[in-house]
Amino acid sequence: MLHVLYASETGNGEELVERVAPPAARAAGIGVRVREIDAVSLEELAQMRWALFVVSTTGQGDVPYDVGELWDALIAADAPELDQLRFGVLALGDRVYADFCQAGIEFDDRLAELGAQRLVELVTCDYDYETPASRWLREGIDAVARDMAGAAGGADAGEPTGADPGPSDPGSAPAGPQDVEPEPLRIPDPAARTDGTAIVEDVRVLTDRDPDREILHCTLALPPALAAAGPDGDGPPWRVGDSLDLLEPNDPRLVAAVLDRLRIDPDQVVEDGTTSISAARLLTERLELRQLPRSLVEAIQERTGDDALGRLLAARATDFERWRWGRDLLSVLEDVPQLEADAEDLARWLRPLQTRAYSIASSPRVDAGRVDLTVRTLRYERAGRILEGTASGALSRLARSAGEEPDGNPSREVLVRHRPAPGFRLPDDSSADLVMIGPGVGVAPFRGYLQERSARGDTGRSWLLCGIRERTTDLLYARELEAWRDEGVLTRLDVAESRAADGAEYVQHTMDRLGPELFAWIDGGAHLHVCGDAREMAPAVRLALRAVASRELGSPERGAAWVARLQAEHRYREDVY
């Protein structure tokens, strides 16, 4: 039996494995069992003979949240030998992040350290993982089938027999860790990865006092594929806690400036054999002009021989990340005035236009065909130019233009994709207590949770801890939250004010201040869900929780064990970005 195990945070790995593995195993004539890695104990892993792993990286180079327990056991000094196991790891990641595919790479290394034998070499996949990942999985399953046949003289050798598995077919293992090469010229079609077109029915500014800290509330009517009930009539495919990815076109001002800088005719037609498109549309709808890959800089450096870019590429990864932060394509072009490039070069060098994820801030029980989103507008100044985030900037411009329409109705289309968050769901148990920590736009999914809890008539207590600058002006959804508190849907609401007259407070400080009550809730069985900033907030919340538990239990060791138990029971969930 082959085990195909996935560690997936946002569902890409899970979807891949479930789609590809069963038919591929059938075609190869072997039995397969597909599961989350989380469902497998270390003891069971120590019994397995063939396993393929699809491991995504989340957070900052982290293994997906649910794998924590197995991972901790695997990296422990007393982890068992796995020398009966023949395995392969496919690592999913994104080069936007500094620790590219870190979790998969570490997983692969550790299995080998424990004596497991690589039957299929590690492959790392970037955001455009679908084709190479499907190929890896199909080839991996074929390699296992050949190995099983060699080991047992049959099609499926079953679980361990203690016999030497025998040599693998040398032709079955790809040679060495490999990144997947991009094709020479391919005009990407990011729309093909979406679930359809939503209509932005409403977009308005929630906090209009400070344009630098603008937050928008948007309502989108979902495409039929997401709004319709499933075949068993149990509601639409999305649930509270999930996110919606938006595919917004690039800022037209940025597109015009890039075309102008490179002296590309906007109407010039670019072709790749199957698609032909104008340069203006290529840049507007197909290519990512803000989240720039390192390979772009390498290509520009190669073309221009630019010394500064050469030094940058030779520098540490963190220096490169610092340089890249805040730069869009135009900023890079401004750094290399000697560069000449045409539209085809851009199609080769740039990524497909990326979707942006937004936590769904409403419940399908309230309206299965519509979602609300809470979006912080990204707007900043760089080298005398005001830059806007692709998606948040587009929504902000829409909010402003809608304000100028007589009916105030934006009614614009946007391509969307459902991003399930299996690790960030409201507990099914309606009597479960819940502590929600969501500073800033991190409050968004919790608005969905509270709508759901209200509609379900949950009896469990709910405690929301938000973080804002000033209560009088910044508390998002203040009236709704207060109404829920009056109704008893929200048992407790605490607000950390970072610009309070009597001293700045962030959520971690509030946790500390309210430590005994927080501890009592969680120790009594409450689930703790955290949403928002991954860089500063989430680590600070983890530390604060550990500090509270250590204080309440009398020692750091007991505090750490208590937090570990909370994680092991899946009562500590994060959706941070």
Ligand X SMILES: Cc1cc2nc3c(=O)[nH]c(=O)nc-3n(C[C@H](O)[C@H](O)[C@H](O)COP(=O)(O)O)c2cc1C
Q: Does 255 bind ligand X (CB under 6 A)?
A: no
Q: Please provide the DSSP assignment of 91-115 as one string.
A: EE--TTSSSTTHHHHHHHHHHHHTT
Largest CA distance in the chain: 78
What, of ligand FAD, ligand X, none, does residue 355 touch, CB below 5 to 8 Å by kind? none
The 333-362 site mask, x for binding ligand FAD (CB under 6 A), equals -----------------------xxxx---
Closer Cβ to ligand FAD, 325 or 486, answer by number: 325
Amino acid at position 57, single letter = T
Burial 10-22 (b: 16+ CB within 10 A, else e): bbbbbebbeebbe
Question: Is residue 320 involved in binding ligand X (CB under 6 A)?
Answer: no
Distance CA 419, CA 356 (A): 10
Helices (H), 325-376: 329-335, 343-349
Residue 56 touches ligand FAD, criterion: CB under 6 A: no
Q: Is 172 in the site for ligand X (CB under 6 A)?
A: no
Write each residue from 405 to 424 as x if it is in contact with ligand X (CB under 6 A), else as -, in one continuous string. --------------------
Q: How far apart are CA 564 and CA 577, in angstroms?
A: 22
Please count the residues of this chain forming the interface with ligand X, following the rule CB under 6 A.
24
510 is a site residue for ligand X (CB under 6 A): no
Q: How far apart are CA 99 and CA 384, in angstroms?
A: 31
Residue 378 interacts, among ligand FAD, ligand X, none and using kind-specific CB cut-offs from 5 to 8 Å, with ligand FAD
Q: How far apart are CA 318 and CA 175, in angstroms?
A: 30
57 sits near ligand X (criterion: CB under 6 A): yes
Phi first, then psi, for residue 134 (nearest 5°) are: -65, -40
Binding map of ligand FAD across residues 444-463, x = CB under 6 A, - = no contact: x-------------------
Rounded to whole angstroms, the Cα distance separating 563 from 546 reads 6
Interaction with ligand FAD in 358-417: which residues (CB under 6 A)? 358-359, 374-376, 378, 380, 389-393
Of ligand X, ligand FAD, none, which one does residue 375 interact with (CB within 5 to 8 Å by kind)?
A: ligand FAD
93 binds ligand X (CB under 6 A): yes
Token pair belonging to 166: 């025998």
Q: What is the Cα–Cα distance from 526 to 464, expressed in whole angstroms? A: 12
Contact partner, 336, from ligand X, ligand FAD, none, Cβ < 5-8 Å per class: none
CA-to-CA separations, 177 to 3, 24, 118, 496, in angstroms, rounded: 22, 23, 11, 47
Task: Considering only the stretches 95-103, 174-182, 377-385, 428-436, report the one whose residues sit in contact with ligand X under the rule CB under 6 A.
Answer: 95-103
Interface with ligand X, residue 134, by CB under 6 A: no
- Shortest CB 124 distance to ligand X, Å: 8
Which of 339, 391 has the CB closer to ligand FAD? Answer: 391
State yes or no: residue 288 binds ligand X (CB under 6 A). no
* Backbone φ and ψ of 86, nearest 5°: -115, 125
Q: Measured from the CB atom, is 354 or 510 closer to ligand X?
A: 354
C-beta nearest to ligand FAD: residue: 389
Query: Nearest CA to 339 among 294, 305, 289, 315?
Result: 305
Residue 496, C-beta contacts closer than 8 angstroms, at least 6 positions apart: 439, 465, 466, 467, 468, 505, 506, 507, 509, 510
Q: Using CB under 6 A as the criterion, which residues of the chain lie in contact with ligand FAD when the complex forms?
A: 243, 290-291, 325-326, 356-359, 374-376, 378, 380, 389-393, 441, 444, 575, 577
Q: Using CB under 6 A as the criterion, which residues of the chain lie in contact with ligand X when the complex forms?
A: 8-13, 56-61, 64, 92-94, 97, 99-102, 129, 534, 577
